[in-house]
Structures are given as structure tokens and as C-alpha cells.
């Protein structure tokens, strides 16, 4: 348990008694960036306020020497409380290291990281001003501050060493020497440029150190003064990005989806932005279009379009990051844009039934209707686009293309063309194939074979084929042949699917037959259903 001088302990205890405990409050986190400006028999300690005050205001800060806690000082004035205080009564030439606590009405914070060791130099080496105060500095703004290093006239020897800042945002200005060598009574100035960035310097109170090393035997090895500033938000907005993340929803596996990210340097910007665009991780993402290039310069008012493509390799979620490395004064130097991809199964085409038709027509006879009704369905997890193709003019279908969503279906009627050009085709066998095509990914592509036999009435009556044959001659007489004795059923249906005539229902021997259909059917569009064993064909009776 750390102990303190009697006066300090009494003050802190008294304040905590006066301030009622807030049940929901916690002690602050530790102060940070402790720097010390050593003076003649004194040291001024500077620090950065805690990242969290614990839910109740800071009452005071306590700074003390690590080795002798009776050497301390308290800061309890200002709003917010001032982040510096001075300890006097130190011994010149002796090394001191300091640490800081923050106190709220709940209690005392953890101990800060100790400062670097400092030695009050007496009145030989003098650095002014001490501390170096840059005042209010806006993100992206550059403010200069100058110190003077003097070897006082009463010194007994030459002083020499190095000059540097511990913070990369506060380098020596161009043309300034980073070393010094001063005879008694001489001085040298050093100018530092401070340019805070959003990733390197927090908003609010900021403290860092400037070091003057001294290699002379009569002085401290490292002379440090604090450099302090209040960091403010910038006046102008430089980089603007249209999306903080990119999400690809329900993208089918193996298919490409893309999204465009727009990077804009605002027209009221004072800076030209340089950025580098890259993706690290999953190979499912790629940059397919970058209007300026991987490394781009954006002048005020310019916009760069970066197109990201997502081609999922599996249905697992794909998470990656698009990195933008830039020099914007109002955004982090490395900006990460999350890429989120949700993949689904691709659209898959299913076609039923699995067969085509075998049409039979009599050369010069009446046209008969032969068709097959197909069901096309998307059995996958995403939409698809389908189409149908064939090569012969006697075969047609409707519709011939369309879109299907998951689990959606459509009915397709493939049929023999209703035209005298079909019945006037020369006798023979004609073949065609319907191609059912999934144009997005080819999953489920399939074919259905179709055949058309054009025969003469005399060939049917000869009955020389191994399968039943059927047709209507030009007078509307039904002709059919049977290769063997078989059960034959012939019925006529109206357009509503009702049986209006039983033409035949009996077994017939092998041979050829002709049946004159009832006269009242001529000129109608009724359907004749012919079944011979497993053989089945439907003819349209009429013109």
C-alpha cells in the first residue's frame, strides 16, 4: 500500500469525506504521458488526463517523487482540473522520477507510468520556454514552436548534445540542427513542427517530451522539457466514404456480385489525399475496378470509385477487410472497411417429365395434336434465368424463356406445329431435341428428344411397324395399325376434358383398321385419345 506525507493524506481523506460516494461510480484510470520540466531546485510535472474518469468528476491530481513521497504537489483548480503542478525544494544535480494519481469521489486511480528521470540542472544549462506550449492545434494543422538552449555565462565549460522529440508528429523543422555545442554565454534555438493526426494524437490535452541530451560531465545526461497542446477537431472534412461496410446478401455460390465504394476528397479540403486500396484474406473477394489505380492521388473535389467483387466458393459466410491507407487529416491513417458476404446455394433447374413425344402424322392427312406438358422448377437457393432452344420448325413451345425464384415453377407446353406444312412433309422420320438451359450457371441443363413420323395411309394399313401407328386421313377417317393382339381404347373428349364418345374399347388382333368418326365431330376441336397397351397418343380432331 502506497503511503503519503501527512499533509497530502489529510487533504485527500478530507475531500473524500466531503463528497458522498456514488454507488455506480468507479475510480479513474491512471493518468498518462507523464513529462517533467526540471528547474532550479524544482520540477514541474505535466500529464494527460485519464482516458476514463470513472463516472464522476476528477477532484484533484497528486504528483510525487517515486523514491520520496513526501516530495509531492497537488493540482485541484481549473475546469477541468489542471494537468500540471510544481514541486519545489529539490536538490540540483540529484535525479528524480515522478508518478501521478487522479482522485474522484470514489477514490484514487492506479499509479501512472513513471516519468523519465530528470535532474534539476541548477543555473548552468537553461532551456526556454519550459514547457513548450503549442496552445490549441487542430487535427491536420501544423503549428511551430521554438526553444532556446543556453549555456549560461557563469558556466565553466562547453556543453554539447542532441535535440529531439519523442513523438513522431513533432519533428524538428527543416533546416534545424539536431545537435548543439555551446560555449559559456552562447545559445542556440531549435524549432519543432507539431501536426496532430487522428490516429497519433488524441483530442483534448496532449503531452509529450522534448529531450536535450548533454554529454558534458558537469550536467545531467538527459534534459527533458514537456511539450503540451490542446488538440481540436479539424475545421474541414477531407476524406468521405459512402459506406462504412460492404455487405453482399444471398449471393449464389460460384456467381459474381459487386459493390462500389466511393472515396471523395471534399471540395473544401486543403489537402491532396494519397490512398492505397487492398484486400487481405479471403480469395472470394477482389478489386475489379479502381478508377484511379491501387495508389491514387485525390485532389480536392475528386472522387475515386473502387469496385469490389464477391464470388463465394461455398455457402459459409465470408468476412474480410478492405484496407484504405491514406493521409487524410480527419480519418485514421489505416481505415478498415468490413466486407461481409452471405452465400446461398445457386439456382438449379429441374424439368419433368423426363421424356419427349413421338408424333405420328399421315402424309396429306389431317393435322393431329401431339404435345407434352413440362414443369420447370427452381430447386436451388437463389433465382435463375432459363430458356429453351431447338432446331426444327415442326416443333414449338410456349413460353420459351423466363425467370424463376427459389421453389418457383412454370408450365411449358411443347407441341407439334399446327400447320399443313407438317402433314405435307415427305414421309419419313424426323428428329429434334429441346434444350432446357439454366443461363446463369448451367445447373440442371437437360434435353428432351422429340420425333415425328410422317407415313402414308397405305403404310399404316400394311401394319408393318413394330409399334402401333395412328393417323387421320384427309377425310377425317381414323387409321391405325397394331403389331400384335392388344387391348385398344379410343375415346373423344371435348375441350373441358369430358368424354363425349366411346369409339372403341376392346381387344383387336394384329392388323390395320379404319374407323369413320361420327360426322358431328368434323369441324370441332375435340381430342381423340388412343391407347393400345402401353402406347398412348392424343390427336386433335378438327381442322
Give pLDDT, residue 11.
Answer: 59
**Looking at the predicted structure, is the pLDDT value of residue 70 above 90?**
no
- Min mean pLDDT across 62-71, 361-370, 429-438, 510-519 is at 361-370
Q: Which residue has the higher pLDDT, 511 or 311?
A: 311
- Residue 275, preceding peptide bond in cis (omega within 30° of 0): no
Residue 543 banded pLDDT, cuts 50, 70, 90: low
pLDDT of 524 higher than 70: no
Q: What is the mean pLDDT of residues 474-491?
A: 84
331 falls in which pLDDT band (50, 70, 90)? Answer: low
Q: In the prediction, which pLDDT does 2 show? A: 46
Q: First vs last Cα of the chain: how many Å apart?
A: 111
Average pLDDT over residues 528-537: 83
pLDDT greater than 60 at residue 323: yes
Q: How far apart are CA 523 and CA 543, in angstroms?
A: 6
pLDDT at residue 412 tops 90: yes
More confident residue, 185 or 45: 45
The model's pLDDT over 221-249, given as tens digits with 9 standing for 90+, comes to 467 788 999 888 776 667 788 888 899 98
pLDDT tens-digit series, residues 272-321: 777 778 887 778 998 887 665 555 677 888 888 889 999 998 887 888 88
Query: What's the pLDDT at 350?
Result: 96
Q: Indicate whether 3 pLDDT > 50.
A: no
State what percent of residues in the chain have pLDDT above 70.
83
Question: Are 92 and 32 in contact, with CB atoms under 8 Å apart?
Answer: no
- Which is more confident, 476 or 405? 405
What pLDDT is stored for residue 29 in this prediction? Answer: 94
Nearest to 488 by CA among 510, 506, 463, 467: 506
Dist CA 534 CA 512 (whole Å)? 18
Taking 90 as the threshold, does the pLDDT of residue 363 lie above it?
no
| pLDDT higher than 50, residue 405 | yes
Q: CA–CA separation, 286 vs 275, rounded Å?
A: 17
Taking alpha carbons only, the member of 263, 286, 155, 131 closest to residue 216 is 155
Q: Which of 180-184, 215-219, 257-261, 394-398 has the lowest mean pLDDT?
A: 215-219
Q: How far apart are CA 182 and CA 180, in angstroms?
A: 6
What is the structure's pLDDT at 464? 59
All residues at 6 or more sequence positions from 408 whose CB lies less than 8 Å from its CB, including other chains: 377, 378
pLDDT, residue 421, reads: 74
Which domains are delineated in the chain? 6-108 (2.60.40.10), 125-232 (2.60.40.10), 239-344 (2.60.40.10), 349-455 (2.60.40.10), 457-541 (2.60.40)
Q: In the predicted model, what is the mean pLDDT of the chain?
A: 82
Other beta carbons less than 10 A from residue 312's beta carbon: 24
Helix (H, G, I), strand (E, B) or coil at 15: helix
For residues 263 and 275, give the distance between their C-alpha atoms in angstroms, rounded to a whole number: 10
Residue 40 has pLDDT above 90, yes or no: no
Whether residue 322 is predicted with pLDDT greater than 80 in this model: the reply is yes
| β-strand pairing of 486-493 with 395-398 | unpaired
pLDDT over 50 (residue 1): no
Q: How far apart are CA 526 and CA 152, in angstroms?
A: 123
Spatial CA neighbour of 450 closest among 542, 348, 374, 525: 374
Residues 405, 379: Cα–Cα separation, whole Å: 9
Question: What is the per-residue pLDDT for 235?
Answer: 65
Query: What pLDDT score was predicted for residue 521?
Result: 61
pLDDT of residue 513: 85
Q: Is the dihedral of CA 247, 253, 257, 261 positive or negative?
A: positive
Omega cis (within 30) before 460:
no
Q: What percent of the chain has pLDDT over 90?
A: 26
Asked whether the beta carbons of 409 and 375 are under 8 A apart, the reply is: yes
Tallying the residues shown for the chain, one arrives at 543
Query: Higher-confidence residue: 331 or 55?
Result: 55
Judge if pTM exceeds 0.75: no
The arithmetic mean of pLDDT across residues 15-32, rounded, is 69
The alpha carbon of 403 is separated from its chain's Cα centroid by a whole number of angstroms, namely: 28
- Which pLDDT value is given to residue 9? 55
What confidence tier does 378 reach under pLDDT thresholds 50, 70, 90? very high
DSSP track, 75-144: E--TTTTPSEEEEE-PPTT--B-EEEEEEETTEEPPPPPPPPPB---TTSEEEESSSEEEEEEETT--EE
pLDDT in tens, 152-203: 766 667 888 889 888 888 898 888 888 888 888 899 999 999 988 766 677 7
pLDDT band at 368 (very low <50, low <70, confident <90, very high): low
Tell me the pLDDT band of 219, cut-offs 50, 70 and 90: very low
Amino acid at each position: 500500500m502506497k503511503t503519503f506525507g501527512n499533509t497530502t493524506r489529510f487533504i485527500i481523506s478530507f475531500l473524500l469525506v466531503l463528497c458522498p460516494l456514488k454507488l455506480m461510480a468507479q475510480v479513474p484510470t491512471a493518468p498518462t504521458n507523464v513529462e517533467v520540466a526540471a528547474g532550479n531546485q524544482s520540477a514541474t510535472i505535466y500529464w494527460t488526463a485519464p482516458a476514463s474518469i470513472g463516472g464522476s468528476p476528477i477532484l484533484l491530481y497528486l504528483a510525487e517523487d517515486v523514491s520520496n513521497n513526501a516530495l509531492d504537489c497537488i493540482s485541484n483548480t481549473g475546469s477541468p482540473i489542471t494537468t500540471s503542478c510544481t514541486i519545489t525544494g529539490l536538490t540540483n544535480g540529484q535525479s528524480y522520477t515522478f508518478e501521478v494519481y487522479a482522485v474522484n469521489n470514489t477514490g484514487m486511480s492506479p499509479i501512472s507510468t513513471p516519468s523519465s528521470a530528470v535532474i534539476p540542472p541548477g543555473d548552468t544549462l537553461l532551456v526556454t520556454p519550459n514547457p513548450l506550449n503549442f496552445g490549441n492545434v487542430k487535427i491536420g494543422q501544423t503549428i511551430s514552436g521554438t526553444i532556446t538552449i543556453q549555456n549560461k555565462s557563469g558556466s565553466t565549460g562547453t556543453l554539447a548534445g542532441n535535440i529531439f522529440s519523442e513523438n513522431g508528429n513533432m519533428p524538428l523543422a527543416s533546416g534545424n540542427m539536431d545537435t548543439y555545442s555551446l560555449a559559456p554565454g552562447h545559445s542556440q534555438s531549435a524549432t519543432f513542427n507539431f501536426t496532430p493526426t487522428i490516429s497519433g494524437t488524441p483530442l483534448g490535452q496532449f503531452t509529450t517530451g522534448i529531450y536535450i541530451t548533454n554529454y558534458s560531465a558537469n550536467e545531467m545526461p538527459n534534459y527533458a522539457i514537456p511539450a503540451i497542446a490542446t488538440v481540436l477537431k479539424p475545421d474541414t472534412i477531407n476524406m468521405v466514404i459512402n459506406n462504412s461496410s460492404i455487405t453482399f446478401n444471398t449471393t449464389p455460390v460460384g456467381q459474381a456480385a459487386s459493390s462500389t465504394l466511393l472515396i471523395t476528397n471534399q471540395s473544401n479540403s486543403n489537402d491532396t489525399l494519397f490512398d492505397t486500396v487492398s484486400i487481405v484474406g479471403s480469395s472470394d473477394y477482389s478489386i475489379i475496378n479502381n478508377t484511379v489505380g491501387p495508389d491514387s492521388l485525390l485532389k480536392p473535389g475528386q472522387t475515386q470509385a473502387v469496385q469490389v467483387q464477391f464470388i463465394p466458393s461455398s455457402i459459409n459466410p465470408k468476412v474480410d477487410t478492405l484496407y484504405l491507407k491514406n493521409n487524410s487529416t480527419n480519418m485514421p491513417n489505416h481505415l478498415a472497411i468490413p466486407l461481409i458476404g452471405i452465400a446461398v446455394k445457386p439456382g438449379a433447374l429441374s424439368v419433368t417429365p423426363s421424356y419427349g413425344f413421338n408424333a405420328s402424322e399421315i402424309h396429306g392427312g389431317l393435322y393431329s395434336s401431339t404435345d407434352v406438358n413440362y414443369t420447370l422448377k427452381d430447386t436451388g437457393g437463389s433465382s435463375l434465368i432459363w430458356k429453351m432452344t431447338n432446331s426444327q420448325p415442326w416443333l414449338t413451345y410456349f413460353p420459351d424463356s423466363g425467370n424463376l425464384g427459389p421453389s418457383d415453377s412454370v408450365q411449358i407446353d411443347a407441341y407439334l406445329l399446327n400447320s399443313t406444312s407438317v402433314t405435307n412433309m415427305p414421309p419419313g422420320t424426323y428428329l429434334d431435341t429441346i434444350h432446357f438451359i439454366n443461363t446463369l450457371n448451367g445447373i440442371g441443363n437437360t434435353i428432351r428428344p422429340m420425333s415425328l413420323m410422317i407415313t402414308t395411309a397405305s403404310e399404316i394399313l400394311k401394319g408393318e411397324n413394330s409399334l402401333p401407328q395412328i393417323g387421320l386421313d384427309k377425310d377425317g377417317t381414323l387409321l391405325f395399325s397394331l403389331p400384335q393382339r392388344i387391348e385398344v381404347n379410343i375415346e373423344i373428349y371435348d375441350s373441358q376434358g369430358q368424354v363425349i364418345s366411346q369409339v372403341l374399347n376392346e381387344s383387336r388382333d394384329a392388323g390395320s383398321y379404319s374407323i369413320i368418326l361420327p360426322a358431328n365431330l368434323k369441324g370441332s376441336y375435340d381430342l381423340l385419345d388412343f391407347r393400345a397397351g402401353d402406347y398412348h397418343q392424343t390427336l386433335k380432331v378438327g381442322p
